[in-house]
Chains A and B, each alone.
Chain A
Amino acid sequence: MTVSGVPQGMPRVGMDPHFAYLLRLGDDNLVVAQRLGEWISRGPDLEEDIALGNIALDHLGVARNLLTRAGEVEGRGRDEDDLAMQRTEREFLNLILCEQPNGDFAQTIARQFFLDAWQVPLWEALSSSTDTQLAGIAQKAVKEARYHLRHSETWLVRLGDGTDESHRRMQAGVDRLWRYTGEMFLVDEVDEEAVASGLGVEPVGLRPRWDETVGAAFGRAGLELPTDEYVRAGGRRGFHGEHLGHLLADLQWMQRTYPGMSW
């Protein structure tokens, strides 16, 4: 496996691992919620427009809960809004997969499917976290994630097993995003400490379930599993691709322009 994106000899993550662990999961959900929200009023049909908006809302709700908890753990008085609106790109710790542009509908479905197939076993495992707040958030999120997966898997199969054009686009979508999926299963000192304290799960432990879900759906969809072993990573340490900054500019513009404003 070739891993890129984490510079050689990088220092340890310079923050409390409990805080970092929550921030990573919160940022995954915040960033993907923002991406899905970009579909609103642009969906391929009315039902999908509404579906993507509702899924975005679920992720946003999970992000709010996680960032609120992260702020409590950090103990510096930052709340969910401070963490969402006043951190810079380098301070965001989401998976690079989550910030990938929507592309066409097939590419959005590919991104969502890869994420959902990972989040279902992730939330199941975190439902028994020693951080009881995190456990509560996970117990709620897993119910929602199962519906997300049902939705994205249905579309992956429908498009993959559809017309020549839908198949071509679905294959292109999964091929394009494949290199970002490996980051979900990488381990660093934050994960090691989270496993040791019972806060979190071992990322590699989620791999068999993910492989199984992806393999089965690809089979039914008639899609080819990419064989590229290159892994693009770095998001968990704040090293992102070119897209996150633009996403944050959109997300944070109002609070950057009028700090602390509310309505």
Chain B
Amino acid sequence: MSAVKVDARRVAASVEDPELPFVTIEELGILREVETDADGGVTVTVTPTYSGCPATEVIRDSIVAALGAAGFHEVRVDTVLSPAWTTDDITPEGRRKLEEGGIAPPRDLAAVAGQPILCPRCRSDSARTVSEYGSTACKALMVCESCGEPFDHFKEI
């Protein structure tokens, strides 16, 4: 991989999700590819979390801005739907940061049934769902029966 391509990848990967600013788009698993061409152009491929996720357009602009600031002025952002994004694409580091940010991370899709959702504050497994849809479509609103705190759970999808 060329030094330029590594650089472009690093810059694109550092772009934060506007609704979860403590997690990068790479950690969320929505950054698919970064290609550079001989003329200095960059093509970034991303995939949305949800079909109607309003963050998608902000992320597109943030990628263009971040690469522009790093000296890449010919930037194209392509969106692909297939293969569909899944919460299994969130990296271990991304999961750790979600939990640190007070959001219970998604469980592995294959293990949803046998794995409890842990309260990100007290680690108790006695949370109940208040609403299947929280502040965004990707999160459910829960409340911990042990410490009494409400929290978001990143829904497995």
Contacts and interface: CB of A to CB of B under 8 A. Distances in A.
Interface of A: 47-48, 50-51, 54-62, 64-65, 132-133, 135-137, 139-141, 143-144, 147, 150-151, 154
Contacts of B6: none
19 contacts: A48-B131, A50-B131, A50-B135, A51-B133, A54-B137, A55-B133, A58-B52, A58-B137, A59-B52, A61-B52, A62-B51, A62-B52, A64-B52, A136-B80, A136-B81, A139-B82, A140-B84, A144-B157, A147-B157
A54 B136 contact: yes
Contacts of B84: 136, 139-140, 143
A139 B81 contact: yes
Given A140-B84, A147-B155, A54 B133 contact: yes
Interface size class of B (residues with CB under 8 A): 20 to 34
Question: In this complex, which of A48, A55, A143 has the most chain B Cβ atoms within 10 angstroms of its Cβ?
Answer: A143
A57 B137 CA distance: 8
Interface of B: 48, 50-54, 80-86, 130-137, 141, 155, 157
B82 A58 contact: no
A62 B137 CA distance: 14
A147 B132 contact: yes
Contacts of B135: 50
A182 to B, nearest CB: 27
Given A47-B141, A60-B52, A139 B133 contact: no
Given A47-B131, A140-B50, 13 more contacts: A47-B141, A51-B131, A55-B133, A56-B52, A60-B52, A61-B48, A65-B81, A136-B81, A139-B82, A141-B51, A143-B84, A143-B86, A144-B137
Given A61-B52, A61-B53, A151 B81 contact: no
Given A139-B84, A140-B84, A143-B84, A61 B50 contact: yes
A135 B83 CA distance: 10
B134 A50 contact: yes
A57 B54 contact: yes
Question: In this complex, which of B54, B85, B133 has the most chain A Cβ atoms within 10 angstroms of its Cβ?
Answer: B133
Contacts, number: 76
Contacts of B86: 143
A61 to B, nearest CB: 3
A133 B80 CA distance: 9
A65 B83 CA distance: 15
User: Which 7 residue pairs are nearest across A and B when measured between Cβ atoms?
Assistant: A61-B52, A61-B51, A136-B82, A51-B133, A47-B131, A136-B81, A57-B52
A66 B68 CA distance: 31
A47 B130 contact: yes
A129 to B, nearest CB: 11
B50 A144 contact: yes
Contacts of B141: 47
Contacts of A141: 51
B83 A139 contact: yes
Contacts of B157: 143-144, 147
Contacts of A57: 50, 52-54, 137
Contacts of B48: 61, 140
Question: In this complex, which of B51, B80, B135, B137 has the most chain A Cβ atoms within 10 angstroms of its Cβ?
Answer: B51
Contacts of B85: 140
Contacts of B80: 136
A15 to B, nearest CB: 25
Contacts of A58: 50-52, 137
Contacts of A65: 51, 81
A140 B83 CA distance: 8
Contacts of B82: 132, 135-136, 139-140
A162 B122 CA distance: 34
A57 B52 CA distance: 5
Contacts of B137: 54-55, 57-58, 144
Contacts of B134: 50
